[in-house]
Amino acid sequence: MQVNPVGTDPSQNLGGALTTQTGDQTATDAFGLSFESLLKIILTQLTYQDPLKPMDNFEFVSQLAQFSQIQQSQTTNERLENIASSQANLQAAGLLGRTVDIPAGASTISGKVIAVVFSGGEPRITIKTTGDQTISNISMASISQIREAQ
């Protein structure tokens, strides 16, 4: 169902962006507006609607339900992102003191994790190799194997 702002002419619809939201779309994806702004649009639509062709109550309630669903989806997505970030941080912290293998071209570098840095929302590790070489800023995705420290 599309929302037709200020009138009933579908050609005046602001790009048809107010359709049912799914996946990782958020309330701000719809025209870059907040939930409150979208509600103001509905109120404006009601204020300036044609009195001879009023908006159907079912249509109005459906639009409000869609906006509520968008807001709930946005909140759920934000919480899931926070959980995923926390999980990655815990996994990185759990590597402290362990030995990891990092592929480096045709060879593999092994070293003990001596530090974890949280940079840009992504954990990065620092290892100390058996030759006392310190390598920093290693992505968690680069790790090919994890072992108990030797």
Residue pair 6/48 in contact by the 8 Å Cβ criterion: yes
Is residue 66 in some structural domain?
Answer: yes
Residues 6+ apart with CB under 8 A from 128: 111, 112, 114, 134, 135
Question: pTM (2 decimals)?
Answer: 0.55
Q: Quick one: tokens of 14?
A: 């602001």
Residue pLDDT, tens place only, 21-48: 444 344 455 456 677 887 788 788 778 7
pLDDT at 32: 64
Range of weakest confidence among 53-67, 98-112, 119-133: 53-67
Alpha helices in the chain (DSSP H): 35-47, 57-93
Question: 28: exposed, middle or buried (C-beta count within 10 Å: 0-12, 13-18, 19+)?
Answer: middle
135 plus 83 within the same structural domain: no
CA 57 from centre of chain: 34
Please choose, from the candidates 62, 130, 63, the residue with its C-alpha nearest in 3D space to the C-alpha of residue 101.
130
86 plus 105 within the same structural domain: no
Which of 91, 116, 132 is the last residue before a domain boundary?
Answer: 91
Q: Quick one: tokens of 21?
A: 């939201």
How many distinct structural domains can be found in the chain?
Answer: 2
Asked whether the predicted pLDDT for residue 10 surpasses 50, the reply is no
Q: Considering only residues 108 and 49, tell me which one the structure prediction assigns the higher pLDDT.
A: 108
CATH of the domain at 117: 2.30.30.1060
Is residue 74 in some structural domain?
Answer: yes
- Residue 22 lies in domain: 10-91
Residue pair 73/80 in contact by the 8 Å Cβ criterion: no
